[in-house]
Chains A and B, each alone.
Chain A
Amino acid sequence: MDASLPALVVVVPMLAAILTALAGRWWRRHAWPVALLATAFAAAGSLRILWRAVHEGVVLYRMGGWPVPTGIPYRIDLLNGIVLAMVACVSFLSVLWMRESVKREIRQAGQASYYAVVLLFTTGFLGITITGDVFNLYVFLEIASITSYVLVAMGRRREGLFAGYQYLILGSIGATFVLIGIGHLYMATGSLAMTDIAARLSGALVDHPSVVHTSFAFITVGLAIKMALFPLHSWQPGAYTYAPSSASLLMAATATKVAAYAFYRFAFTVFGTHYVTARLPQVMDGIMVMAAAAMVVGPLFAVRQDNLKRMLAYSSVGQIGYVVLGAALVNASAMTGSIAHFWNHAASKGALFAVVGIVVLRSGSPHIDNLRGLGRRAPWTAAAMTVAALSLVGVPLTGGFVTKYYLALGTLETGRGVLLAFILLSSLLTAVYMWRCLQRVWFADPDLEPAVTREAPWTMRVATLTFGAACLVFGVFAWIPVDIASAAARALLGEN
Chain B
Amino acid sequence: MLEFLLSHYNYAIYIALMMIGLYAILARGNLVKKIIGLNILQTAVFLFYISIGKVDRGTVPVIWPAGERPPGFENVPYENPLPHVLMLTAIVVGVSVTAVALALIVRIKAAYGTVEEDEILEADELRDREGDA
Contacts and interface: CB of A to CB of B under 8 A. Distances in A.
Contacts of B112: 158, 162
Contacts of A83: none
Interface in A166-208: 168-169, 172-173, 176, 179-180, 183, 186-187, 192
Which DSSP category, helix, strand, loop or mixed, fits chain B's interface?
A: helix
A146 interface: yes
Nearest to B34: A169
Contacts of A162: 108, 112, 120, 124
Interface residues of B, number: 30
B100 interface: yes
A169 B33 CA distance: 12
Given A146-B96, A146-B100, A165 B105 contact: yes
Interface in B17-49: 18, 22, 25, 31, 34, 38, 41-42, 45, 48-49
A161 B45 contact: no
Contacts of A149: 100-101, 104
A159 B124 contact: yes
Contact of B45 (A183, A186, A192): A183
Contacts of A186: 52, 82-83
Contacts, number: 69
A152 to B, nearest CB: 10
B49 A173 contact: no
A192 B49 CA distance: 13
A168 B100 contact: yes
A235 to B, nearest CB: 13
A158 B18 CA distance: 32
B49 to A, nearest CB: 5
B90 A161 contact: no
A135 B52 CA distance: 15
B42 to A, nearest CB: 6
B18 to A, nearest CB: 8
A255 interface: no
A482 B124 CA distance: 45
B3 to A, nearest CB: 18
A135 B111 contact: no
Contact of B111 (A146, A161, A169, A192): A161
Nearest to A159: B124
A158 B111 contact: yes
A176 B41 contact: yes
Residue in B31, B34, B97, B101 whose Cβ sees the most chain A Cβ within 10 Å: B97
A157 B45 CA distance: 35
A159 B49 CA distance: 37
B43 to A, nearest CB: 11
Contacts of B45: 176, 179-180, 183
Nearest to B104: A165
Interface in B104-133: 104-105, 107-108, 111-112, 120, 124
B105 A146 contact: no
B88 to A, nearest CB: 11
A77 interface: no
A50 B64 CA distance: 45
Contact of A161 (B86, B96, B104): B104
A454 B20 CA distance: 55
B22 A165 contact: no
Given A159-B124, A161-B107, A142 B52 contact: no
Contact of A165 (B83, B93, B96, B108): B108
A105 to B, nearest CB: 16
A153 interface: yes
A150 interface: yes
Nearest to A145: B97
Nearest to A158: B111
A164 interface: yes
Given A135-B86, A158-B111, A161-B111, A146 B97 contact: yes
A424 interface: no
Contact of A173 (B41, B89, B93, B104): B41
Contacts of B41: 172-173, 176
11 contacts: A139-B93, A150-B100, A158-B112, A162-B108, A164-B104, A165-B108, A168-B100, A169-B101, A173-B25, A183-B49, A187-B52
